[in-house]
């Protein structure tokens, strides 16, 4: 599930450095997810595993050596070329400067994705804008349909809509 943090400021684009996360970055990913107050927080252990096992399809941004944002993703089994984006987070200090868009653009290139998928709840306007903007920049079709409806969740979680973008230009 993707929940993008609102980027409401209109500051200039950040000069960030990007890398595949390593287990040393796991605590920073966990902290940014926790501090977002909107992402579903996974265990700290899961972020460490993610940075070990799925780093090739994930990205981390730093600004002046400080953790600034991340995207966790994976390549869909049985669907070569499809990047599934799980979480997108930007640290509060770096929001409003197109960092999420820069990370998504770079990650799609990094994994040579022919399609990008994510799930977004209907009320998550920031994520909807992020992925719609990505589709526009890549001149790609964007399809939306319910994937996991509320009745499938044991806790009343909102329906997650699948956003499928591609083929990428």
- pLDDT of the residue at 52: 97
40 DSSP assignment = P
CA–CA gap between residue 159 and residue 152 (Å, rounded): 9
Band the pLDDT of 64: cuts 50, 70, 90: very high
CA–CA gap between residue 74 and residue 109 (Å, rounded): 14
| CB contact set of 79 (below 8 Å; sequence gap of 6+) | 115
pLDDT tens-place string over residues 101-160: 999 999 999 999 999 999 999 999 999 999 999 999 999 999 999 999 999 999 989 999
- pLDDT of the residue at 116: 98
Query: What homologous superfamily does CATH list for 17-165?
Result: Gcn5-related N-acetyltransferase (GNAT) (3.40.630.30)
Q: Is the pLDDT of residue 3 over 70?
A: no
Residues listed for the chain: 169
Is 31 in contact with 48 (CB distance < 8 Å)?
no
3-class SS of residue 88: strand
pLDDT tens-place string over residues 114-126: 999 999 999 999 9
Band the pLDDT of 31: cuts 50, 70, 90: very high
- pLDDT of the residue at 38: 86
CA–CA gap between residue 147 and residue 106 (Å, rounded): 26
- pLDDT of the residue at 7: 43
Band the pLDDT of 37: cuts 50, 70, 90: confident
pLDDT tens-place string over residues 88-103: 999 999 999 999 999 9
Residue 161, beta-bridge partner list: 120, 146
Q: Among residues of the chain, what percentage have pLDDT more than 90?
A: 88
Band the pLDDT of 12: cuts 50, 70, 90: low
Q: Among residues of the chain, what percentage have pLDDT more than 70?
A: 92
- pLDDT of the residue at 1: 54
CA–CA gap between residue 102 and residue 18 (Å, rounded): 9
Strand-pair category, 160-165 with 142-148: antiparallel
Query: Please, where are the H alpha helices in 89-124?
Result: 99-110
- pLDDT of the residue at 169: 76
- Among 91, 92, 87, 93, CA closest to 130: 87
Taking the domains of the chain in order of start, what are their residue ranges?
Answer: 17-165
């Amino acid at each position: 599930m993707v929940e993008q943090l609102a980027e409401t400021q209109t500051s200039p684009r950040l000069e960030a450095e990007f890398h595949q996360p390593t287990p040393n970055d796991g605590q920073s990913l966990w902290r940014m997810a926790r501090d977002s107050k909107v992402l579903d927080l996974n265990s700290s252990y899961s972020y460490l595993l993610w940075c070990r096992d799925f780093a090739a399809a994930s990205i981390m941004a730093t600004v002046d050596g400080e953790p600034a944002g991340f995207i966790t993703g994976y390549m869909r089994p049985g669907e070569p070329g499809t990047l599934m984006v799980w979480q997108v987070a930007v640290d509060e200090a770096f929001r409003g400067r197109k960092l999420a868009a820069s990370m998504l653009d770079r990650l799609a290139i990094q994994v040579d994705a022919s399609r990008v998928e994510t799930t977004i709840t209907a009320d998550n306007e920031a994520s909807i804008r992020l992925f719609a903007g990505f589709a526009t920049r890549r001149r790609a079709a964007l399809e939306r349909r319910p994937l996991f409806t509320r009745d499938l969740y044991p806790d009343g979680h909102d329906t997650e809509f699948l956003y499928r973008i591609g083929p990428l230009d």
